[in-house]
Amino acid sequence: MRQIVLDTETTGINPKLGNRILEIGCVELNNRMLTGNNLHFYINPERDSEEGALNVHGLTTEFLSDKPKFHEIVDQLREYVRGAEVIIHNAPFDLGFLNHEFKLLNLPDFTEHIGGVIDTLVQAKELHPGKRNSLDALCDRYGISNSHRKLHGALLDAELLADVYLAMTRGQNTLGMDVEEEVVNIGELLEPVAMADIIFVPASEEELAAHAETLAGLDKAVKGQCIWTASLNPPAPPAA
C-alpha cells in the first residue's frame, strides 16, 4: 500500500480570509516502509504571513519571493499523490487549504486526487483520551527525537509524523509460524489442591506503598502509562 504523510505551512489559519499555502512536505511510505521518495516545495504565497503564523514557521516574505507559485507546482503535486492514502495530523486544516488552492485554479478538490485520508490526531485521541496529542507530545510519548525542531517545517514535520504513525500503529498480526500447536491441559499437570489448604495473606500498607511507587516509576520511564497501570485504569469508552 502506498501512503503519503503530508504537512503544510501557511500564511495564517483561514483560507477564506485570503491565507495561502507557503510550504508543502510529503514523505512516502510503501507497505509501511520509508522509501526516501519525498517531495518538498517552498511556495511564494503572493502575500505576507500573519504575525502568529510567521512566529510558527519563520518563513519570511523575502525568503519566499523567488520561490514558485502554487500553480507552478500543482501538476507535480497531483501526480505525486495520485491514488495514495494520505496521512495528516489534524487533516481538516491542511485539506481545507489544499482544496482552496485547487479551487483557485479551477481544479477538482485535492481530496478527489487521492485514495483516502488518515487523520493521526483522531487516532491519537482514540488511543490516548484526555492526553495532549500534538505532534510534539506524540514524539515525546513514542520516544521519537524532535530536539532539532526549533520551528515548524512541513518536510520535517511530515518526517516526524511518519515515525509517529508507524509507532502508533505498530502491531503484530501473526506469529509467522505454521507449526501445529500441542494443546496442553494445565489442570492435568497440577496436583489437586484442596481449597482449605489455600491461605490468603493480604498485602501490608508498606507493601502496597512500595507497589504504587514501583508503578509510578514505570509510568515515568515510559512517559505515560505502563501496561499494568493501563490495565488497572482502562480509558473510558468514547461517547456514542
DSSP state, residue 4: E
Q: Are 110 and 95 in contact (CB under 8 A)?
A: yes
The angle at the Cα of 133, spanning 131 to 135, to the nearest 5 degrees, equals 150
Paired with 39 in beta bridges are 26
- Choosing from 57, 128, 152, 211, the catalytic residue is 152
Q: Are 27 and 43 in contact (CB under 8 A)?
A: no
Task: Please state, in angstroms and rounded to a whole number, the distance separating the CA atoms of residues 5 and 113.
Answer: 15
Pairing of strands 2-10, 85-88: parallel
Query: Is residue 40 annotated as a catalytic residue, yes or no?
Result: no
Buried b (16+ CB within 10 A) or exposed e, 61-83: eeebeebeebeebbeebeebbee
The set of cell numbers assigned to 185 is: 491441559
Buried b (16+ CB within 10 A) or exposed e, 42-54: bbbbeeebbeebb
Residue 134 exposure: Cα atoms within 13 Å on the Cβ side: 4
Catalytic residues: 152
